Amino acid sequence: MHFYNFYCMIVVLLDFIFKNMLYKRNTYKQNLTKEVIFMDKKKGVLCIIASVLLFAFMQLFISMTSPASSVFSQIFFRNLLGMILCAYFIRRDHLPYFGDLKSQPYLLGRSFFGFLGLLCLFYATRHASLADVTIITHTAPFFTTLVAVLFLHEKLSPVQIPALLIIFLGGCLVTNPRFDSSLIPLGIAFLAAISNGICYPLLRYSREREHAMTVIMHFSTFCVVACIPFLARNFSIPHGMDIVYLALIALTGALGQIFLTYAYRLCPASEISLYEQFSIVASIILGYFFLNQIPSIRAIAGGTLILGTSIFVYFYNLKRTAQS
């Protein structure tokens, strides 16, 4: 309880500093109302696909960085640009930087589990087979759907669970996991999936309470501040191409986070999480064009299964929405 009170004091102080440095206070409810009114599942799907593509590029650039670039430096720069972009839009639209005190429990939950998911994903990717990590982290939609149904009271369509299972099967065909990696990295990859499954429904929950830019600003600031103690102990200045890759990680990560946040505001979490599996298909395409990785017949079959099921679910939901 004392920690939470201290945390609220820090949020109020930071919000006060940012407001007085960057803009004069203005009405926020009008902007929030305009944002919430226009809910659109088509745009939500487009946003999640854009987010998946950007995050796939981010993962590509992460794999290209040298071992000298630590996980914390990658997370730090990934979110630093997000802070700068959000500060610009928040200043322009006169929005709160870190949200109201009443919003802090779920904002803190979203930021904490988002940071934990990032940290676990980056660690597992470096210490286990990429195929094993990919398929384990892609169990996140199951947790997202579970949390959305239990806590957001979203209703599942008849095709959602079968579609999740088919897409997961497609992911197994693509990645061909052997699960011969060490148990600790695999357990951490599973923790990343659980963390993402918890934080994504919180994005949906926040849609009528805080502006999207406020949510992203809170998350980016949390990640940057959480990385500072680790960077202070062991920080090495990036050199050569690492500078370019870190800049690209920051750009794709920041834009991907913006599209991801809006996707979960425009569409139910249990529906939109299905399309995150498209990242497996995106990885095949990027691997072919940038890393000269020729996909196997299994990968093509799995990718077709994922893509076909996602398209079917998309049109099924459109038809179901039109009928209702």
Reported as a single tens digit per residue, the pLDDT across 153-194 is 777 778 878 887 887 787 777 666 666 667 788 888 889 888
Confidence (pLDDT) at 294: 74
The H-assigned helical ranges of 176-277 are 183-205, 212-233, 241-266, 269-272
Q: What is the pLDDT of residues 71-90, one digit of tens each?
A: 888 889 889 988 988 888 88
Task: Report the C-alpha gap between 276 and 30 in whole angstroms.
Answer: 32
Which residues, 6 or more positions from 184, have their beta carbon under 8 angstroms from its beta carbon? 127
Please indicate, yes or no, if residue 125 is contained in any of the structural domains.
yes
Phi-psi region of 83 (alpha: psi -120 to 50; beta: other; left: phi over 0): alpha
Is 148 inside a domain boundary? yes
Please give the pLDDT value at position 28: 45
Stretches where the chain sits below pLDDT 50 are 2, 6, 17-18, 21-38
Q: Cα 180 from chain centroid?
A: 27
- Of residues 297, 299, 298, 271, the one with CA closest to residue 283: 299
> Is 231 within the bounds of a domain?
yes
Domain that holds residue 155: 41-164+177-271
* Residue 172 is assigned to a structural domain of this protein: no
Q: What are phi and psi of 15, to 5 degrees?
A: -60, -40
Tell me whether residue 33 is in a domain.
no
| Residue 26 pLDDT | 42
Instruction: Give 272-288 pLDDT, tens digit per residue.
Output: 777 777 777 777 777 77
Q: Is residue 16 assigned to a domain?
A: no
Cα–Cα distance between 81 and 239 in angstroms, integer?
19
Assess if residue 282 is contained within a domain: no
Eight-state DSSP code of residue 23: -
Instruction: Determine, yes or no, domain membership for 51.
Output: yes
Q: How far apart are CA 194 and CA 121, in angstroms?
A: 11
- Per DSSP, the chain holds a count of helices (H) and strands (E) of 14, 0
Rounded CA separation 294/288 (Å): 6
Nearest to 159 by CA among 22, 320, 301, 24: 320
Q: Say how many domains are in the chain.
A: 1
In whole angstroms, what is the distance from residue 229 CA to residue 232 CA? 5
State the virtual CA torsion across 215, 138, 40, 150 in degrees, nearest 10: -80
Please state, in angstroms and rounded to a whole number, the distance separating the CA atoms of residues 193 and 139.
6
